[in-house]
Structure 1
Amino acid sequence: MVGQVLFLITIFMGFAFCSGRCSDVYTRSDFPKGFLFGSAFSAFQWEGAVDEDGRKPSIWDSFVNSDAGPPFVIDCDGYHKYKEDVRLMYDMGLDAFRLSISWPRLIPSGRGPVNPKGLRFYKNLLNELTRHGIEPHVTLYHNDLPQVLEDEYGGWIDRKIIDDFTAFADVCFREFGNSVKLWSTVNEPNMLAMGGYDLGASAPKPYIALHNMLLAHASVARLYKQKYKEKQNGSVGITCFAHWMVPFTSSEEDNIATQRAKDFSLGWVMHPLVFGDYPEAMKNIVGKRLPSFSKEESDLVKDSSDFLGIIHYTTLCVAHKSKSRNKDYLSDMRASLIPDRFIISFSWTAFGNSTFIKFDVLPWGLEELLEYIKQNYGNPPVYILENGRPTNHYSSLNDVERVEYLHAYIAAVLNSVRNGSETRGYFQWSFMDLYEFLSYNHTYGLYYVNFSDPERKRSPKTSALWYTAFLKGKTQEPMNLTLSSSSGFSTQ
């Protein structure tokens, strides 16, 4: 045990040499009053109980049970263990928690009758959170489209989805709005449209799909403002996947390709929300394959988000790629996206067969991203809704590399706030080990979940204790972490 403590002390002392422009020492009190610290999971990845109490399949159920998907599904059985999990959140000291509503659990047929058991579950979960003083941040759509709507008209590639999604949101606002002040409509539409409709890496044409997601988001935001905002006083935003990108070389071609890649990824979503239309680079390259907004649609989408949710994990290098004969999203971008160790691939085979997935600690990338949003999109309110580092699920609970990552990236957020970014919250991904879409052997949790145990026992990792100490205003110096006989570690 003494050796373990000395090991931890050595590791934590090493944080003085963390990568990037991050502050070595900070506390929670350095952040503005009202700044939210939380964690997150999504319904499909946490709940389990996929065939219980009236829930019907989503497109992800179909995908993971297909030859293209992973060989099995794991879950945390959160549907039955939500009270235990909320208690852990409370004990950690979380201000807020990000979760999603499973559309096929609440409205199993995609439209029509509400499932009373699904309704009761979400009311109970939200009540449990608010009873413990934890602010729910609810995502309406986190990749789990009811399969029945996919079968009927192809889901997001048909404009029928706009009315169905708005009706689903109406139920959520009506039933849960008194407990929820922060609503995200669609989770990472840019990644979903690319992965699901261009590359085949996600469950079930990218430009049409994202266009409909933006229109559906704007329809839902208008509904909330017209029908609910005055009484419930909440906010509606959208969540965007956002790598930071830097040129691979100093060549003019790579510099131009980097800006083009930013327009094709972040700008794909943000330009319509801020300016009412897609970036010029996209319109020039994609041409008639890129849907256009009518004047009415442009006015509807522009300024439809009260805030921007950001999902950020790492920074990529961008190299110019020659024009291709292919007519798909990545070919249109004309850029190679290159992480530190490998050229990025979105095929299931590449991720599923990886022996290790690693994000380097590059916190300056998050600072640059937030500065870019501030300078180019009017400095909107921002919530970092996912940020974290994966480790092998079966590795040690002493996840010091995750602590190093969190320490550096939270410092980057603080630097950005001090530099004028309207960032108002940070949500670590994920609270516990979950079923992960890209590599089920690599998880992001602060808590380890024993998926072989019928009880799905939760055990805190070192990162859980570090985050707890930080959230409770205690210094994160190594001497504040000691071993305890019950859980392996405790905070003092």
Structure 2
Amino acid sequence: MSWLPATRALSCVVLLLLLVVAVAPPASAAAITRGDFPTGFVFGTGSSAYQIEGAVAEDGRKPSIWDTFTHSGYSPGGATADVTADQYHKYKEDVKLLSEMGVDAYRFSIAWPRLIPDGRGAVNAKGLEYYNNLINELLRHGIQPHVTVYHFDLPQALQDEYNGMLSRKFIDDYTVYADVCFKNFGDRVKYWSTLNEPNIEPIGGYDQGFFPPQRCSLPFGISCNNGNSTTEPYIVTHHLLLAHASAVSLYKEKYQDKQGGKIGLTLLGSWNKPATQTPEDIAAAARMNDFHIGWYMHPLVHGDYPPVMRKNVGSRLPSFTAEELKRVLGSFDFVGFNHYAASYVKADLSKLDQKLRDYMGDAAVRFESVPFFDLKNQSSPWVLREMLEHLQVKYKNPVVMIHENGAASVADPSGDKALDDEFRSRYLQDYIEATLQSSRNGSNVQGYFVWSFVDMFEFLFGYRMGFGLYGVDFNSEERTRYRRHSAKWYAGFLRGGELRPVAVPGQAYSQ
């Protein structure tokens, strides 16, 4: 994270992929198998287009805002995803690896600038061909395609034309793009996610400015020269919600009965805990969960933004028309959550006295400055159980897919292919068992996807850290894949093996 000022680095990671020290309760000794999960429960792994495909200037694809951002030198280590893991050319090899691992499903996204390079207008035949080939290859191997329509890679053309998601024009262009996806792939794709992590993209891109399109305003953002951190995150979220609801309405009216699929969206599910047990900090954690998860779940389930957001944000928080509310309310068959760990917050009510406030000021909290930890040493699966229980109680127990869950490792500068990642196997088994426990306690969780299938460009880390079950030799022109212990472990579990504690030298197993 040396690419960000130290004072901002902590808050940026907290909002995106916060991994904070947590104390875990005693382990359960019971061994479980895949057969203990409900019939139809889906196990998979995933990726996203910009992070894994490469071929950014091939076969008609045009730049996204992430291409512009990385080529301007703003990403970690100046990394780009121009080639990354090169799945565009290696999809057949990758599908074979997925099949050998025994997954039910593969979650991936479609690149808007590959399918409709200018954001609107002509559909790129080569883009259609690639995604048809990938989907067909997955189905030939008995693997379900779970498709995300939009995963951060907005066509640069739309950003240039009307400031992208700040304009209501985005809603119409996104809906047309989604229609192209449903029309061309929906006969075979049965699980659609409209958006990935729309509850964090507005913070990174329009409040703090550390992600594209780098809009923000002082004193809230990083190197700001445009934007308004006090209003734009809320405007962008409003337009994302309306775009989601528009696409879902289209799918349900035009395609669902004929194609038989399901549609939802995917949120970042960082779970906020009080740093102390004072009433103020307990209230702060609940408030942050409303700002983070409730920002989307409350409109989707209850028909408006959370009351605490209405109170604290005031007139800066957009309102829904009656017609918009009809579309937004209940506009999902499932909700995906990308979950990694907990964040710990303290109340900071003094922020509400500030004349100018951004999202964090409106939430009136601050994150504890505790050390980050290496996931080789610890996991906190009880946090996932708490989040799922919260969804049961507060949001009418929706169908949930855990769309991302995984552990990072620092890239090995020696290029050693035999990475000993038993820590990742242990982390995954902790969270898989927590998922089963939540299911048995009444949560409507129906799927679990490991992040990620292979090492690839990470939005937060570039190539400095990787989450892959399979490693990738990025020094090799062939981008050679190599199987890690975690891939072997996951394959064993998926093929009926027992979920038992993984022995990690020098460490005690904890749950």
Shared fold per TM-score greater than 0.5: yes
Partners of 2:152 and 2:502 lie apart in 1 by 42
1:117 corresponds, among 122, 126, 138, to 126
Aligned match of 1:212: 239
Aligned match of 2:386: 368
Aligned match of 1:60: 66
- Cα deviation, residue 51, structure 1: 0.3
Q: Which runs of 4+ in 1 moved over 4 A?
A: 355-359, 476-480
Aligned match of 1:199: 208
Q: Confirm or deny: 8 A CA contact 2:341 2:380 kept in the other structure.
A: yes
Q: Confirm or deny: 8 A CA contact 2:233 2:359 kept in the other structure.
A: yes
Q: Confirm or deny: 8 A CA contact 2:32 2:500 kept in the other structure.
A: no
2:47 corresponds, among 41, 48, 70, to 41
- Cα deviation, residue 159, structure 1: 0.5
2:281 corresponds, among 225, 240, 254, to 254
Alignment of 1:155-304 (within 5 A): 155-204=164-213, 205-304=232-331
- Cα deviation, residue 23, structure 1: 3.7
Q: Confirm or deny: 8 A CA contact 1:173 1:228 kept in the other structure.
A: yes
Determine helix, strand or coil for the equivalent of 1:190.
coil
CA distance 1:449–1:201, shift in 2 (3 Å): same
Q: Which amino acid aligns with 1:214?
A: L
Does the alignment pair 1:449 with 2:458?
no
Partners of 2:168 and 2:25 lie apart in 1 by 44
Aligned match of 1:73: 80
Does the alignment pair 1:471 with 2:477?
no
Determine helix, strand or coil for the equivalent of 1:323.
helix
Spell out, residue by residue over 1:410-449, the C-alpha distance to the aligned partner (whole angstroms, 9 max, x if none): 0000000000000000000000001001112011000010
- Cα deviation, residue 337, structure 1: 2.5
Aligned match of 1:127: 136
Q: Confirm or deny: 8 A CA contact 1:268 1:279 kept in the other structure.
A: yes
Determine helix, strand or coil for the equivalent of 1:238.
strand
Spell out, residue by residue over 1:391-421, the C-alpha distance to the aligned partner (whole angstroms, 9 max, x if none): 0121751101111110100000000000000
Partners of 2:50 and 2:376 lie apart in 1 by 24
Determine helix, strand or coil for the equivalent of 2:293.
helix
Aligned match of 1:382: 400
Partners of 1:479 and 1:146 lie apart in 2 by 44
Q: Confirm or deny: 8 A CA contact 1:136 1:181 kept in the other structure.
A: yes
Q: Confirm or deny: 8 A CA contact 2:114 2:124 kept in the other structure.
A: yes
- Cα deviation, residue 340, structure 1: 5.1
Aligned match of 2:7: none
- Cα deviation, residue 476, structure 1: 4.8
Partners of 2:277 and 2:92 lie apart in 1 by 53
Aligned match of 2:426: 404
Aligned match of 1:337: 367
Spell out, residue by residue over 1:274-330, the C-alpha distance to the aligned partner (whole angstroms, 9 max, x if none): 011000100101001100111111111000011100010001111011333232111
Q: Confirm or deny: 8 A CA contact 2:350 2:364 kept in the other structure.
A: yes
- Cα deviation, residue 359, structure 1: 8.4
Partners of 1:189 and 1:87 lie apart in 2 by 32
Q: Which amino acid aligns with 1:448?
A: G
TM-score, normalised with respect to structure 1: 0.89
Q: Confirm or deny: 8 A CA contact 1:21 1:363 kept in the other structure.
A: no
- Cα deviation, residue 360, structure 1: 3.9
Aligned match of 1:50: 56
Spell out, residue by residue over 1:152-199, the C-alpha distance to the aligned partner (whole angstroms, 9 max, x if none): 001111110000000000000000001101000010100111111111
Partners of 2:502 and 2:269 lie apart in 1 by 36
Does the alignment pair 1:391 with 2:409?
yes
Q: Confirm or deny: 8 A CA contact 1:40 1:97 kept in the other structure.
A: yes
CA distance 1:340–1:371, shift in 2 (3 Å): farther
Partners of 1:246 and 1:420 lie apart in 2 by 22
Alignment of 1:407-486 (within 5 A): 407-440=429-462, 441-476=464-499
Q: Which amino acid aligns with 1:168?
A: Y
Q: Confirm or deny: 8 A CA contact 2:377 2:423 kept in the other structure.
A: no
User: Structure 1 vs Structure 2: percent identity of aligned residues?
Assistant: 51
Determine helix, strand or coil for the equivalent of 1:278.
coil
Partners of 1:424 and 1:119 lie apart in 2 by 30
Aligned residues: 452
Unaligned runs of 5+ in 2: 1-22, 214-231, 504-511
Partners of 1:133 and 1:208 lie apart in 2 by 41
Q: Confirm or deny: 8 A CA contact 1:314 1:359 kept in the other structure.
A: no
Aligned match of 1:347: none
Q: Confirm or deny: 8 A CA contact 2:426 2:502 kept in the other structure.
A: no
Determine helix, strand or coil for the equivalent of 1:425.
strand
Q: Which amino acid aligns with 2:441?
A: N
Q: Which amino acid aligns with 1:333?
A: A
Aligned match of 1:15: none
